[in-house]
Amino acid sequence: MVNVKKVVDELEPYVPGRSIEEIANKYGIAPNKIIKMGSNENPLGPSGKALRSIEHYLSSISQYPEAYSKDLIKELASYAGTSPANLIVGGDGADEIIDVLGKTLIEPKDEFIVPIPSYMYYEFTLKIHGGIPVFAKWDIARNSLDVNSVIDSLSVRTKIIFLCTPNNPTGGLIDKKDIITVLNSTNALVVVDEAYFEFAGVNNVKLLEEHDNLLILRTFSKVLGLAGMRIGYAISNPYLIQYMNRVKPVFSLTKLSQITALATLQDKEYIEKSTEIGIKSREFLYKALSKFDTLNVLSSKSNFLLVDVRNTGMKSKLLTEELLKRGIIVRDCSSFRGLDDYWIRVSVGTLKEDQRFIEILEEIIG
């Protein structure tokens, strides 16, 4: 047998959200009867303009895509309020950008800081590059960052600090002043993950004007409705972006991904409607879930809600299983570092899907 790298041998597999196909096969439910509220996607589906653009370009898939996605980057600069030189686009979503950061910055035994609970892919990916995770604290009671725990975690070996706002899976925002405190406390790169910023109505792009050690991470997988096309991007200073472009897989962004991303950005009506429905659905679900005596729901600025289910007497694994049997996918959060066995994360659906979910939940824990 070949010897795999020690870090790979010791790596705990990443636990992804469940897919409709997987649940349809396992429980014998027709795919069109399954409601997916587990991966924070856009419940409206993709933009109609994106769909039509694919049809137009299908015959071009025999050719390599354009390596630097110039047209897309130009449109993206206008969407994000920045310049093309400040942007990099990744072809396996924001996840690819995290990997590119590992390739660009992490030497074996360098440290990176993650306040927990937060998005698990940072830890999973940077460990493969030899990075050592240092865990700071997300304050669940306030649903915000414990900024002192981040400052206390800094060391001479810190290379990257991840600040996710709104935070996945808790939905809370990080105060701008706390982000500035972290930026001013270190020369390490501060990655502000804004995968869900559209639902919060705030962003931190302006901070790039004064801080060279900031990178903002974004994705097309959430409000922009293209999770299956795998498109992510980052905004930072041109110096770092140019190094990241050197190591990024050259053709990772497929032709169809570039085309659909561009068409979606041009579909302002779709983006507006998706954001509006996401926020309405979140508020509906927050109210409906808060009415259950046995549930404790965290207030959220994103398109999902974190729910403490311990008073139902069920662990999250059992409750999510009962929901799956009835065709509803939500996220069992027991694999999230920093959460125990009693949390589920519910993504927004359409209002009809939300109502169906609440009815089924009543059946189970009512």
Ligand X SMILES: Cc1ncc(COP(=O)(O)O)c(C=O)c1O
Q: Which residues bind ligand X (CB under 6 A)?
A: 40, 93-95, 119, 164, 168, 193, 195, 219, 221, 227, 232
Cα(217)–Cα(181) distance, integer angstroms:
19
Tell me how far, at minimum, the Cβ of 156 lies from ligand X, in Å.
Answer: 27
With b for 16 or more beta-carbon neighbours within 10 A and e for fewer, the 155-185 pattern comes to eeebbbbbbbbbbbbbbbbbeeebbbebbee
Rounded to whole angstroms, how far apart are CA atoms 39 and 333? 12
341, with CB counted inside 10 A (0-12, 13-18, 19+), is: middle
Q: Closest CB to ligand X among 314 and 333?
A: 333
DSSP 8-state secondary structure symbol assigned to residue 278: H
Q: Measured from the CB of residue 245, what is the shortest distance to ligand X in angstroms?
A: 18
Choice between 219 and 260, CB closer to ligand X: 219
* CA–CA distance, 326 with 299 (Å, rounded to integer): 26
Separation CA 151–CA 289 (nearest Å): 35
Cα–Cα distance measured from residue 14 to residue 35, given in angstroms and rounded to the nearest whole number: 23
**Residues in contact with 1: Cβ distance below 8 Å, sequence separation at least 6, in sequence order:** none
Shortest approach of ligand X to residue 294 CB, angstroms? 27
For ligand X, which is the closer residue by CB, 164 or 223? 164
CB of 33 to ligand X, least distance (A): 25
The C-alpha atoms of residue 51 and residue 49 are separated, in whole angstroms, by 5
Other beta carbons less than 10 A from residue 111's beta carbon: 20
CB of 45 to ligand X, least distance (A): 16
What is the number of the residue whose Cβ is closest to ligand X? Answer: 93
Supply angle C-alpha 80, 84, 86, rounded to 5.
75
Residue 262 CB, nearest distance to ligand X (Å)? Answer: 16
User: What amino acid is encoded at 159 in this protein?
Assistant: K
Residue placing its CB nearer to ligand X in the complex, 40 or 186:
40
The residue (of 114 and 259) whose beta carbon lies closer to ligand X is 114
Pick between residue 99 and residue 111 the one whose CB is nearest to ligand X: 99
Minimum Å distance from CB 3 to ligand X?
30
DSSP letter, residue 309: -
- The residues facing 161 across adjacent strands are 113, 190
Nearer to ligand X, 65 or 171 (CB): 171
Q: Which is nearer to ligand X, 89 or 309 (CB)?
A: 89
Q: How far is the CB of 125 from ligand X (least distance, A)?
A: 10
